[in-house]
Amino acid sequence: MFFLRLLIDFLIIKHSTDLIQIKFESFINEFRKPYLNDPIEYLRRIRNFEKSLMRIQYLNSFRLHNESAYFGLTKYSDLSPEEFRQLSNLNFLLIIKIFMANLVLKNNRKSSTNKRFKKRRHIISGTELENANIPPKFDWRDKNKVNPVRNQGKCGACWAFSIAATVESMVAIKTEKLYSFSAQQLIDCVDQNRGCQGGDTCSTLEWITKNNITIETSDDYPERDYADECHSNAKKPGIGVRSDLICEDFIENESKMIELIYNHGPLIAAVDASTWQNYLGGIVQYHCFSDRNHAVQITGYDLTGPIPFYKVRNTWDINFGIDGYIHIAIGNNLCGIAEEVSALNTQDIPSSFYN
């Protein structure tokens, strides 16, 4: 009987292993992974893949509504958690460096660890907005003020892409024309950051406004997949940026964020993206904390359904999530989305951008 049980257990394990291998080879073909003929890399990746399958099952077990987030295989499902985090690379150690250099950030960035992880169950509805003129559903994409989702590739410079994207939107709101502005210029030229190895939106915005930096278009300063020497050209037309709102805390006051989105424009937010690795769609409500490691642009919101949510533009190409977007539930500072929020404005825009 003992040996029969061992045999049955062995056959079950072998069957499970065979199923995982079949799924993995299908995954390799679907996402055109390059390591099918590399046995060492294959073994490493299939182990990551198996762990992703377990996480997917776990996260999907929390779905309570049809609108809730659902998870499955993505192009990132063969990455380790450490490799996945490199896609984000918001480097908050840089803040310490900047404080030491006496570049003091605004005083109201005061969210304590206890406050950060405090459970919040409050959900905002359309009736709770202080401004009665705010519509219950809005997205700047519908106004043609947001460019298509970009792909940051292996360059961990979400901080630069989120700033460039928001400059694009603010210029479009003023000029009725959508331009592409250079994230690469920020990657190359913001010397207190680490290019593709990480950066910080807060210190970058402080640096831009303090030094009157103008952001060039992507045509004048083309994008690459790596950091290079700064070759910014002051003779090229660019956009000066100002911001009276750099990394503000809207915890327990997310209705103000919604009003800002509608009345002002898209926002930049630092978030925790560590559980987004296998996100396919729906509204994220659980298992997303406040260890901010990624920067995104919030282009809109929807308060009409049972789970109000932000429409969040990511930088992992259009095949991530919902055409490149992720929906984050409003009201509980989910993913830390309300802890470091920035709104941009522009200096006087050169006349050439109106033509």
**Phi, psi (deg, nearest 5) at residue 289:** -105, -150
By CB atoms closer than 10 A (0-12, 13-18, 19+), residue 308 is buried
Catalytic residue among 89, 147, 293, 314: 314
Q: For residue 223, give the 3-state DSSP assignment.
A: coil
Phi-psi region of 5 (alpha: psi -120 to 50; beta: other; left: phi over 0): alpha
Residue where the block lists tokens 């046995």: 39
HSE-CB at 23 with a 13 A cutoff on CA atoms is: 20
Active-site residue, selected from the candidate residues 89, 147, 158, 189 = 158
Question: Any idea of the CA torsion for 254, 330, 291, 342, to the nearest 10 degrees?
Answer: -40
196 in active site: no
Residues 6 or more apart from 216 whose CB is under 8 A from it?
181, 182, 185, 232, 233, 236, 237, 238
Q: Please tell me which residue in 294, 327, 332, 335 is annotated as part of the active site.
A: 294
Selection from 169, 202, 200 nearest residue 187 by Cα: 200
Is 66 labeled as catalytic in the residue annotation? no
Active site annotation includes 158: yes
Q: Are 103 and 205 in contact, with CB atoms under 8 Å apart?
A: no
Report the alpha-carbon angle 196-200-204, nearest 5.
100
Where do we find the tokens 């199923």? 19
What is the maximum span of the chain, computed from C-alpha positions, in angstroms?
A: 86
Which residues 6+ apart lie within 8 Å of 347 measured at CB? Answer: 214, 239, 240, 241, 242
Contact 351, 331 (CB under 8 A): no
Nearest to 354 by CA among 251, 253, 239: 239
Known catalytic residues are 158, 294, 314
